[in-house]
Amino acid sequence: MTDSLITAARNAQARAYAPYSKFRVGAALEAADGTVFLGCNVENASYGLTICAERAAVCAAVSAGVKRFRRAVVVSDVDPPAAPCGACRQVLAEFGLDLPIEGVGSKRTLTWRLSDLLPVAFGPEQLR
Ligand code: THU
């Protein structure tokens, strides 16, 4: 069975702008209502300004007024599959630690829960 969220993330990965690392990443975020938001990594000649695929997807969703997510997929071409970097974990955590994240690599798919990837998280509740 083909998984349309994974296909969408692969399509986003094909649009990655990664001329420096050549490490192409695609992300797909499925909103609570089923809408899908995509992101790819966007590198920059000033390397530190690189934007990861996951954060690009979060920005696309929030820009469309969507902040509730039920599933995330991150695709890369490595094995084991890449998990979101620390910065992306923190940005995703802003919108819920229950999020299941599937890492799809060249061979395997692994699934994590964001709360396991970012234990003892700092979040919005600390500021209330
Ligand atoms: N990258 C992502 O897009 N997401 C991650 O979670 C890890 C890293 C990108 C950033 C950079 O363009 C390339 O992968 C290598 O670090």
Assess whether pLDDT exceeds 60 at residue 1: no
Among 40, 50, 88, which residue has the most ligand 1 atoms within 8 Å of its CB, making it the best to mutate?
50
> Given this model, what pLDDT does residue 80 score?
98
Average pLDDT over the chain, rounded to an integer: 97
Contact 6, 75 (CB under 8 A): yes
Report the alpha-carbon angle 32-35-36, nearest 5.
Answer: 110
pTM of the model: 0.97
Nearest to 92, CA basis, from 44, 37, 46, 13: 37
Residue from 30, 54, 102, 125 carrying the catalytic annotation: 54
Q: What is the mean pLDDT of residues 51-70?
A: 98
To the nearest whole percent, how much of the chain has pLDDT over 90?
Answer: 98
Band of pLDDT at residue 128, cut at 50, 70 and 90: confident
Rounded to the nearest angstrom, the distance between the alpha carbon of 128 and the centre of ligand 1 is 32
Assess whether pLDDT exceeds 80 at residue 107: yes
In tens, the pLDDT along 34-45 reads 999 999 999 999
Hey, whose CA ends up nearest to atom 3 of ligand 1? Answer: 52
Hey, whose CA ends up nearest to atom 6 of ligand 1? Answer: 84
Residue 79 tokens, joined: 């094995």
54 counts as catalytic: yes
